[in-house]
Amino acid sequence: MKSQSKSMDELVDQLKLLLVNSKDLSKIMAFFFDELMMKPGFIPAGTPCQGDQIPTQIVGVVEAIYQERFGQDPRGSLQVISMLRLPQYKLIHGACMVNGKLGALFFFEDLDMGLLSLGGMPPDSEVLHARFQAIAMPRDNKKRGVQVDRSGYRH
């Protein structure tokens, strides 16, 4: 563990910088899992968020990314396995399933930006990484306020 000597604050700041600036999305998620998730105290610092506590932009973006990749409307199929909020860092992270595809994500509320990884994608089991920016939409909004950004990078 390379960053054990770094404080939680330093690791979160480094993750933000990577999220905003890095072109290699897999390295961002690897940093999240290998450095931040392994930091003692990180997971216990989170409080569970469920249902209405999960920001609408996270649900909308995950569904839009899935629809963009697979051409299927996944609305209603998103299952949150675990979602934790670390209010001191304005960070939400967790795991989900979308139509049977396991996903991991984190989202910074102060940046309105996050990263989603969906694994085990047939036919080639490619892991899909998607960086996203989102704004909150009213829960009763029938039309998705999501636009998928095509960065030109394949991850």
- Total of domains in the chain: 1
Number of H helices, E strands in the chain: 3, 6
pTM (predicted TM-score): 0.80
Q: Is position 17 within any domain?
A: yes
Q: Is position 147 within any domain?
A: no
Domain that holds residue 115: 8-133
Mean pLDDT in consecutive groups of 10 residues from the start of the chain, 155 residues = 77 97 95 96 91 76 82 79 93 89 92 88 74 69 49 41
DSSP letters, 43-84, are TTT-EE--GGGS-HHHHHHHHHHHHHHHSS--TT-EEEEEEE
99: closest CA among 71, 136, 137? 71
Q: Is position 48 within any domain?
A: yes
Q: Is position 155 within any domain?
A: no
Q: Identify the pLDDT of residue 31.
A: 97
Identify whether 55 is preceded by a cis peptide bond (ω within 30 of 0): no
Q: Is position 94 within any domain?
A: yes
Q: Is position 150 within any domain?
A: no
Q: Is position 141 within any domain?
A: no
- Sole residue written with tokens 């860092």: 89
